[in-house]
Amino acid sequence: MDKFKAIVVNQVEENFTRELQEVDISFLKDGDVTVKVEYSSLNYKDGMILKNGGKLVKDYPHIPGIDFAGVVEASEDPNFTKGDKVILTGWRVGEIYYGGYAQYAKVKGKFLVKTPEGLSNKDAMALGTAGFTALLCTFAIQARETILLGEPIQDVLVTGATGGVGSVAVMALSKLGYNVTGVTGKKDKEEFLQKLGASKIIDRSELDQPAKPLEAALWDGVVDTTGGQILAKALSQTKPNGIVAACGLASNFKLDTTVMPFIIRGVKLWGIDSVMASAKRRQFVWSQAANLIDFSVLNEVVQVWSLQDLIDSSSKILKGEVSGRVVVDVNQ
């Protein structure tokens, strides 16, 4: 194929545009493996980039899409051959490198992970960057009883529980046998969270308020997607030697807290960066995805969009109007 469909964003002075275009294969650059993309997904960062570049894109014109899954079309990397099923998340693809909102992508082989047996490329993008981040958080929480040889985990809190990261975290943590409490401001999503495995749901207003240095110890682990007051409150409520995995700033990037949870209760604040995770870590996490995710349940809360749908509706994710996950069928 000499030409293919892609979303191209451009900025000329103050004029930002996003258009579905037909581009030439020679438009692709920066890589040694060409992938025929099957699916991508919509993440919060994608919404920012599609809105106005999100201060993440430096060079225009540009193809966004921070993750994709597909089949290798051509490779100069000895680790990949034509026909291999592959997944890409992170590595600043979609930001400084052309991304997955296109029918073809060209990337460095070291950015790719072979799709594990038992996992389809569509299921991989039902997870996408958000799901991959959620699984990194899940293993960070589990580290209390594995790496740190601490007390068994019972009660885990997940903030922003109806979002892409939160919803997958609820499912994975409950699959490990933990009692998961989901935090959401959406009262109509309680049944949705229970279906994912949440044993309890609390309103975000209970956490989105100033925290005392230490409060009643409630949580063995916390997955926080929000930052701000909610993260500070969660830290103050974490049990001795608990782990708080912080991966988002949907509420606020600032954190007003004290050292007391850390030095009196030994709480660990574990920052989760899915963008630059090592290749070995990626391979491990993706190899465990099928064990931790019930895709028959997850797919009930997956919407499938086209590239045109992204142009029309991607702003919804920035307004908190997307529950669950959006899979993008680039060939639709």
**Span between the terminal Cα atoms of the chain, in Å:** 17
What integer is the mean pLDDT of 278-282? Answer: 93
CA–CA separation, 139 vs 107, rounded Å? 28
With cut-offs at 50, 70 and 90, classify the pLDDT of residue 1. low
Residues 196-238 have pLDDT tens digits of 999 999 999 999 999 999 999 999 999 999 999 999 999 999 9
- pLDDT confidence tier of residue 169, bands split at 50, 70 and 90: very high
Is the per-residue pLDDT at 131 higher than 90? yes
Ranges of H-type helices in 198-240: 228-236
Continuous H helices in 249-326: 260-264, 279-292, 295-298, 307-313
- Mean pLDDT value across residues 286-301: 92
Beta partners for residue 327, in sequence order: 41, 304
Q: Which CATH superfamily is domain 130-271 in?
A: NAD(P)-binding Rossmann-like Domain (3.40.50.720)
234-244 pLDDT per residue, tens: 999 999 999 99
Q: Are 130 and 41 in contact (CB under 8 A)?
A: yes
306 or 251, which is more confident? 306
Residues 26-68 have pLDDT tens digits of 999 889 999 999 999 999 899 999 999 999 999 999 999 999 9
pLDDT of residue 325: 87
Q: Which of 72-76, 108-112, 250-254 has the lowest mean pLDDT?
A: 250-254
CA 288, chain centre distance (Å): 16
Residue boundaries of the structural domains of the chain: 3-115+294-329, 130-271
Q: Which of 112, 91, 169, 161 is nearest to 136 (CA)?
A: 169
DSSP 50-101: HHH-TTT--SSSB---SEEEEEEEEESSTT--TT-EEEEE-TTBTTTB--SS
Q: What is the mean pLDDT of the chain?
A: 94
User: How would CATH label the architecture of 3-115+294-329?
Assistant: Alpha-Beta Complex (3.90)
Whether residue 84 has pLDDT greater than 90 = yes
